[in-house]
Chain A
Amino acid sequence: MRGMADTLEIIDLHAGIEGKEILKGVSLTVRTGEIHAVMGPNGSGKSTLAYTLMGHPKYKFISGDIRINGESIVGLPPNQRALKGLFLGFQYPLEIPGVSLANFLRISYNSLRKDEPMLVRDFRKLLEDKFELVGMERSFATRYLNEGFSGGEKKKAEVVQLAVLRPKFAILDETDSGLDIDALKLVSDGINSVHGPDRGIVLITHYQRILRYVTPDFVHVMVDGRVALSGGAELAQKLEEKGYGWIKGVEEGGGELRQPSMPDAPEQNH
């Protein structure tokens, strides 16, 4: 059906931190062109999933697989995962004193797109466009990376990085948290602007509110290290009305929704 699409496959992924298993068999397939929302209560393993996908050294892979276009990326360092097209929008972006955002991002861009390096002047123009997109002043280009940025500015800067780097698959870890309504709209605009047939987006979020502005094709709910439920955009609406407590009830009652993390239903999204 979608022969041209790139795929990110998460297959029965088990992973943890400090000896504790947190992901207990996550399966999910993301194709370029799709937006997936991964929701779930605190402690359900959403951020662990994000870090494990990107290869954070503290998060230990246990079993399963992560594949981009069929090729496993397990064991690769983060920079090589980035080269394969993966991007992580951080929940808490790090401050790097003494390194300007523009300089950092140009080095990053040139590392990831060695075949199409950009002139400094062209890059500056590109960056200014992306700042405008999320309503940031141009002066942020020369500010030190995230240093002294407000919470909202950090999140916007992550979206600027996303828009400049244009990865195949973007994992956005609670990019909406801590934003006021205006910032939320701008960040959403930014995410929508990169959405397209060449990009798959995984929006990790605790709240439903960003989904008013970014419409997901699929919504997955994580509970206790697994995808407990998957559905369309309407699932988010239901969660908003009923709360996460409702999921437990659905699970226990064997409810009306599919449980896609079961090994016999790997193609849950389609």
Chain B
Amino acid sequence: MSRQIINEDYSRYDFKDPETFVFRSQKGLTRSTVEEISRMKNEPEWMRNFRLKAYDYFMNRPMPGWGGDLSNIDFDNIYYYAKPTDKMGRDWNEVPENIKRTFEKLGIPEAERKFLGGVGAQYESEVVYHSLRKDLESKGVIFLDTDSAVKQYPDIVKRYFGTVIPPNDNKFAALNSAVWSGGSFVYVPPGVEVEVPLQAYFRINSKNVGQFERTLIIADENSKVHYIEGCTAPIYSSESLHSAVVEIIAKRGAKVRYTTIQNWSKDVYNLVTKRAFAYENATVEWVDGNLGSRLTMKYPSIYLLGRGAKGEVLSIAFAGKDQHQDAGAKIIHLAPYTTSRITSKSVSKDGGRTTYRGLLHVQKGAKGVKSTVRCDALILDEISRTDTYPYNEINEETANITHEATVGKISEEAVFYLMSRGLTESEALNMIVMGFIEPFTKELPMEYAVELNRLIQLEMAGSVG
């Protein structure tokens, strides 16, 4: 019964195409899998060595002993590389018919026509479609899949790749560094403001295929860009693994916003490392929505490296039955007069579990730092759970830090109030939950806010006895 509810909730995304590959690696991960991926991609030697070194790190590191339950991940039962097609389209008509249909069902080409400046679409391990509006291209903006960028812009990729998140940063960053494929590469030249969002959409179609995209965004001085990613997968009874690495470099005065609406099916392990460097007077904002997956462990982080840099992490997590959202933020203040804000909202229901895990670090000598942390959790029933683990390392006495955390339930009085005005019980609950996450929703482009509202409504369906 509960399974049915989950399926219904997710039905729009739960469709499977036939599993067709032009190439798929053997199940499991060995040194030769890594070599094979690199060979298939015809990569330069430096990248092959980068991968192999990362593979050693991955093999040598223990599984994290904290966070969520990772014991069900069977690394031997995963395909680490699956190539669905031989070529990448710059026009949707060049994309194989079944894959094109997938993205049409997900509304990507339509969104692209309406309001996006560029789109990347990744299916299994490879980016199958990529486009960038001509006017942005002519301003020198680069928006490519990362594999193509390695070949077309080797100097710039080599200079930054793996510098924000070194391959040995953590076990899953090491895994990604060894087997990465796809993802986006964005470069915005100095002074260029990209006023429309660039979007990438990640879709896992086949059973047991892991997705390990690698995204690198470089915003040069005084530039501006908003990047959005969305992700879904059909439901299988066995687990899939999504383990991405996202690196952002915001140079002096640059402004980068990275928006995620993660909506994986509820059998995906979503273990992602996201980190940004913000230089003098730069601004980095992570807007991070986590709805799907069995377990998400993700703590977008910002290193404030230059005077006056700003960082903001705004996140929501929604955990239903059998889900654990272990999410949070890390802000590292390494320069004076840097400011940051963390706003985390989580909702748990039907036995779901949310965890906020955050780090706020202020280095000695980073004077005049200001930071605000706010975590609010909403628990919709007696069997759900939420935990908060805020770590503060404040080594500078001039720092001005405020921290607020609340845990709440939906009050019967509030539901009664709304029902007395004609709303049904589920409409009332829905309105209260949507209001609770409104600080997040209002930051989304309108189309995404509408979609998010719909998703939350689906998640909320069945909340009422």
Binding site for B on A (CB under 8 A): 54-58, 77-79, 81-83, 87-88, 90, 93-94, 96-99, 104-105, 107-108, 111-112, 144, 161, 165
Q: CB-CB < 8 A to B411: which residues of A?
A: 94
Residues in B with CB closer than 8 Å to A112 are: 421-422
Instruction: Annotate B410-440 by CB proximity to A: 1 below 8 A, 0 otherwise.
Output: 0111101111111111010001101111110
Do residues B420 and A54 form an inter-chain contact, with CB atoms below 8 A? yes
Whole-angstrom distance between the alpha carbons of A221 and B85 in the complex?
81
Known: A108-B423, A161-B421. A97 touches B435 (CB 8 A): yes
Complex contact A58–B434 (CB within 8 A): no
For residue B417, which residues in chain A have a CB less than 8 angstroms away from its CB? 90, 93-94, 96
For A98, the chain B residues whose CB sits under 8 A away are 434-439
Interface residues of B in 372-430 (CB under 8 A from A): 411-414, 416-425, 427
Q: Are B422 and A104 in contact (CB under 8 A)?
A: no
Given contacts A98-B437, A112-B421, 4 further A-B contacts (CB under 8 A): A79-B421, A111-B422, A112-B422, A161-B421
A97–B419 CB distance below 8 A: no
From residue B409, how far is it (CB to closest CB) to chain A in Å?
A: 14
Contact partners of A99 in chain B: CB under 8 A: 431-432, 434-435, 438
Return chain B residues, CB-CB under 8 Å to A56.
416
**Minimum-distance CB pairs A-B, first 6:** A98-B435, A98-B438, A111-B422, A108-B421, A99-B435, A78-B419
Judging by beta carbons under 8 Å apart, are A57 and B416 in contact?
A: yes
Q: Could you tell me the distance in whole angstroms from the C-beta of A154 to the nearest C-beta in chain B?
A: 11
Contacts of A161 in B (CB 8 A): 421
Whether B414 contacts A79 by the Cβ 8 Å rule is: no
A79–B439 alpha-carbon span in the complex (Å): 28
The complex places the Cα of A79 from the Cα of B438 at a distance, in Å, of: 24
B438:A96 contact, CB within 8 angstroms: no
User: Which chain A residues border B413 with CB–CB below 8 Å?
Assistant: 94
Query: What residues on A are CB-neighbors of B437 within 8 Å?
Result: 98
Contact A79 B436 (CB under 8 A): no
CA distance A107 to B411 in the complex (A): 20
Q: Closest B residue to A93 by CB, please name it.
A: B417
Chain A residues positioned under 8 Å from B422 (CB to CB): 79, 82-83, 108, 111-112, 165
Contact between B419 and A58 (Cβ–Cβ < 8 Å)?
no
Q: List 27 A-B contacts (CB under 8 A).
A: A54-B420, A55-B420, A57-B412, A57-B416, A77-B419, A77-B424, A78-B416, A78-B419, A78-B420, A79-B419, A79-B423, A82-B419, A87-B420, A88-B420, A96-B432, A97-B436, A97-B438, A98-B434, A99-B432, A99-B434, A104-B421, A107-B423, A108-B418, A108-B423, A111-B421, A112-B422, A165-B421
The closest CB in chain A to the CB of B433 belongs to A98
Closest-CB distance, B344 to chain A (whole angstroms): 15
Min Cβ gap B124→A in Å is 38
Q: How far is the CA of A77 from the CA of B419 in the complex (A)?
A: 8
Which residues on A sit within 8 Å (CB–CB) of B438? 97-99
A159 to chain B, nearest CB (A): 14
Q: How far is the CA of A94 from the CA of B435 in the complex (A)?
A: 13
Interface centre among A58, A105, A111, A165 (most CB of B within 10 A): A111
A161 to B437, CA, bound (A): 25
CB distance from B438 to the nearest CB of A (A): 3
Q: How far is the CA of A99 from the CA of B13 in the complex (A)?
A: 28
Chain B residues positioned under 8 Å from A55 (CB to CB): 420
B-chain residues with CB within 8 Å of residue A165 when the two chains form the complex: 421-422
Task: Chain A residues near B425: list those with CB within 8 A.
Answer: 77, 79
What B residues does A97 contact at CB under 8 A? 435-436, 438
Alpha-carbon separation in the docked complex, A88 to B416 (Å): 11
Measured CB to CB, the closest approach of chain A to B211, in angstroms, equals 33
- How long is the Cα–Cα vector from A54 to B421 in the complex, in angstroms? 10
Q: Nearest chain B CB to A204's CB is how many angstroms away?
A: 15
Contact B431 A104 (CB under 8 A): yes
* One of A54, A79, A93, A144 near B435 (C-beta < 8 A): A144
Closest residue on chain A to residue B419 by CB atoms:
A78
B contact residues around A77 at 8 Å (CB): 419, 424-425
CA distance A56 to B417 in the complex (A): 9
Q: Which of chain A's residues have a CB closer than 8 A to the CB of B436?
A: 97-98
Closest-CB distance, B235 to chain A (whole angstroms): 31
A96 adjacent to B419 (CB under 8 Å):
no
A78: chain B residues at CB < 8 Å are: 416, 419-420
Q: Are B414 and A94 in contact (CB under 8 A)?
A: yes
| CA A244 to CA B417, docked complex, whole Å | 31
CB-CB nearest in chain B for A145:
B435
A244 and B83 CA atoms in complex are apart in Å by 84
Question: Measured between alpha carbons, how far is A111 from B420 in the docked complex, in Å?
Answer: 11
- A99's nearest neighbour on chain B, judged by CB, is B435
Residues on B with C-beta less than 8 A from A87 are: 420
User: In the complex, what residue of chain B is closest to A95 when comparing beta carbons?
Assistant: B414
Assess A107 versus B431: contact at CB under 8 Å? Given A82-B422, A97-B438: yes
Chain A minimum-CB-distance residue to B428? A79
Rounded to whole angstroms, the CA-CA distance of A111 and B436 in the bound complex is: 22
Q: Using Cβ atoms and an 8 Å threshold, which residues of chain A touch B419?
A: 77-79, 82
Q: Which residues of A contact B421 (CB under 8 A)?
A: 79, 82, 104-105, 108, 111-112, 161, 165
